[in-house]
Amino acid sequence: MSASSVDLETLRHSTAHLMAAAVCELFPGAEYGIGPSIEDGFYYDFLLPGGTHFSDEDLPAIEARMHEIQGRHSQYQRSELARAEALLEFRRLGQRFKVDLIERIPEGEVISCYRTGDFFDLCRGPHVPETGAIPAFKLLHTAGAYWHGDETQPMLQRIYGTAWNSQAELDLYLERLEMARKRDHRRLGRELDLFSLSDELGGGLVLWHPNGATVRTVIEDHWRREHRRRGYQLVYTPHVAREQLWETSGHLGFFADEMYGPMEVEGERYRIKPMSCPFHILIFSSRRRSYRELPMRLAELASVYRFQRSGTLHGLLRVRGFTQDDAHIFCAPDQAEAEVAGVLDMVQEMMARFGFNQVEIDLSTKPAKAAGQDEMWELAEAALERAIQTRGLDFKLNPGEGAFYGPKIDVHIRDAMGRRWQCATIQFDFNEPERFGLEFIGADGLAHRPMMVHRTLLGSMERFFGVLLEHYGGALPLWLSPVQVQLITVSDDQLDYALGVAARLEQAGFRAEVPDRPGERMQAKIRDGELAKVPYLGVIGKREVEAGTVNLRSTREGEQVVLGIDQLIERLRLEAAQS
């Protein structure tokens, strides 16, 4: 097998074994957990003997040993063992995590293993023929990981790495990683004074600062306008509800692990909401509905709370309290397919407005743990597939990955660094209308059961905001920037004129700022404006005051032009509409 023909998943899984072999040579007695390939790389989990730990500083030595083993051209040799034989072998090797995995394998399944030199592991494969067939790899960083993700289990150490079919591909990937490091939304959030997280407040809970709140308001105002334009009705619902409501909806049975525990209020148990669907259902069922009211589209920017383990929290991208751009469509069965197609159109338009012009679609079908009849699942899955096809979109099928109450469409976007993010979700639900006994009166005068479509467009505001920051590297387009124009005076003599220009811009609907720092040099103000990633800096000196103009500098394009105030407003209007 030539290097150019190696499947990346196979290559990366083989490199994970190569890394584990190196670790076991350097750290005798190391126990190893799982070592899968992942998107863009691989990882392996280890527990070192005697309570010792390795860190990122150990990675060069591990990498050097990997190259040494690679030079031995050790074969990846597959073998199959009987269950008892496999248990005996891994107990002999002192590999308790492998014993645990074998004990979880159903009786009768083939147990395959691979040997690479002295390293022996439980593994399905496949692998490259020998270690010399791995062209290029790099170890990246370490992290902690509980065995099986369970905090009651041992904490292992995880080493992440990446592998590619050429050094050029590896170098390009490492460049992208460095770009991602510089664009990390957590760093940008601090530097641009957008948001913060606090241990005092609690993990996964976000404090929005004035600049961040401004951007969020712009996003939410656009979201509301687009929903009203498309026939949605905006609603508000409470943050808590009686526990009985979550029992009726099925969330306590299917979603309890991600819900916060109950609170006692006057002898009744309440739960903080993880999602809004039961609330919107109660709005629909608050009075008798006619077929003439369908489809009924209810939308809400809803604050919800879900329990996430502390080790999984990550800036804005994974939090415990977030605002979900939630909507539920109640419709007649023959309207459902068209409604889903309409949501797909809305997703594409919304993503394009934020600078994401390509969407990728996954269709997920019935999971093992599911509510509802097979016939309804089949009908719903077929309707989703037709809705995708009518829009001429390709999709990837994910069997068994649907929600417990219905199949779903997940829409992904690619950021400026090529990373894939899930944002929009569209889910059929024929389960909750049944559980709540929802009805509408049809044209025949009889009661009928409505279909229900759950959907989000942006996902959570927090996560989407983090993705936006990294996509643009903090330099948000004009219409989203918290400060769109910063007016900088050459001396304090021009301050009154600058304040007047700012007032004109504010009246025209633009966000302008005049740094009022007496005695500070103009160049220092310009530097601060550039660091704050303000799109335009308007420099004002004696000449501009006399002419009624602004010397406008673009921090993005490097352009510099002198404009009258009306010309400046018109320029901003055109750019804000197009960006």
Annotated catalytic residues are 277, 306, 324, 326, 328, 408, 454
HSE (side-chain half, CA atoms, 13 Å) at 281: 25
Give the integer Cα–Cα distance in Å for 46 and 144.
10
Q: Is 395 exposed, middle or buried (0-12, 13-18, 19+ CB in 10 A)?
A: middle
Selection from 26, 16, 154, 157 nearest residue 97 by Cα: 154
| Residues 196-203: contacts with CB under 8 Å, at least 24 apart | 197/315, 202/320, 203/310, 203/313, 203/320
Contacts of 87 (CB under 8 A, 6+ apart): 99, 102, 103
Q: How many CB atoms lie within 10 A of CB 89?
A: 18
Is the CB of residue 342 less than 8 Å from the CB of residue 331? no
Cis peptide before 126 (omega within 30 of 0): yes
For 297-364, give the DSSP string.
EEEEEEEEE----GGG-BTTTB-SEEEEEEEEEEE-GGGHHHHHHHHHHHHHHHHHHTT---EEEEEE
Query: Closest Cα partner for 327 from 397, 174, 224?
Result: 224
Q: Is 265 exposed, middle or buried (0-12, 13-18, 19+ CB in 10 A)?
A: exposed
Distance from CA of residue 528 to its chain's centroid?
A: 31
Amino acid sitting at position 360: E
Residue length of the chain? 579
Paired strand residues for 265: 268
Q: Kindly state the DSSP code that residue 46 receives in the 8-state scheme.
A: E
The helix/strand/coil state of 481 is coil
Report how far residue 494's alpha carbon sits from residue 241's, in angstroms, rounded to the nearest whole number.
57
Pair 121, 145: CB distance under 8 Å:
no
Burial of 3 (0-12, 13-18, 19+ CB in 10 A): middle
